[in-house]
Structure formats: structure tokens, C-alpha cells
Amino acid sequence: MANVFISYSHKDSGLAERIARELGELGVDVFVESSIAPGQDIRAALKTAVAKSDIVLALISSSYAAANSWMGYEVGMAEALNKPVLTLASDRLSASDLPRDVSSRQIVYFDPQSPESAVREVVERLAAA
């Protein structure tokens, strides 16, 4: 099936891991930052993972830190490699709360306590691609 890269704030690692696990149960290969081995070059690992991905998910919750430089790097790399980026945003946020580099993209709003709807949306979009 498809390869998905999830970009997220460290504060959202539990949510990202949950979404990754649910996507994995549906046969989707998922990369999250915890996949990087200790001592591995982070930038090189991220670049390789984004290049292998079919889509990059930008996960934004109310705990997202605007200073998260890695998300900007990851989304920018996806753009440079012509990879689609889909924003998964907490339903507690509005488009004006989102970082500029992801707010102009397609946005799937979801309840962070129950991200199953976001997972279904991602799988449907992957199937349609």
C-alpha cells in the first residue's frame, strides 16, 4: 500500500503514534520521528523518509508549538519533492490558528480524542490517488 510521513510537534507524539498505529493496521507504511535510530543524522533520515512517502501529513493540535522548525523543514522538503501535503488539524482550531505553511492546504479537521475519522479520510484519499 502507500507510504505516509507524519510531521508533528513532539508534544503530539502520542497522538501521532496512535494515528500511525491505526494507519499501519490498515496496511499503510508510516514514518514517524521515533523511527529514526539513535545517532542517525536527523536531516538525512527525514529527507529519505519524505522522498519515499506518497503523502506528508502535517498534524496540528492545540498543543502545537508555532516554533516547531522541523514541521516547516519537512513540509518544505515535501514541496521541493512534489509530494502532496495534507493538514490534519484539531477540530478545536480554525484556519487562522494554523501555521502559514500548512493553512493554505487541504485541511481535515478531527477530534484529537478520536482520530479514527482522520485515519479514514487519509486512507480514502490514498485510495483515490
pLDDT in tens, 100-118: 777 788 889 989 888 988 8
Q: What is the set of domains in the chain, with CATH numbers?
A: 3-128 (3.40.50.10140)
Instruction: Please indicate whether residue 14 or residue 67 has the higher confidence score (pLDDT).
Output: 14
Sheet containing 3-7, strands listed edge to edge, beginning at the edge strand earlier in sequence: 29-31, 3-7, 55-60, 85-90, 107-110
Tally: H helices and E strands in the chain: 5, 5
What is the mean predicted confidence (pLDDT) over 17-41?
92
Confidence of residue 22 (pLDDT cuts 50, 70, 90): very high
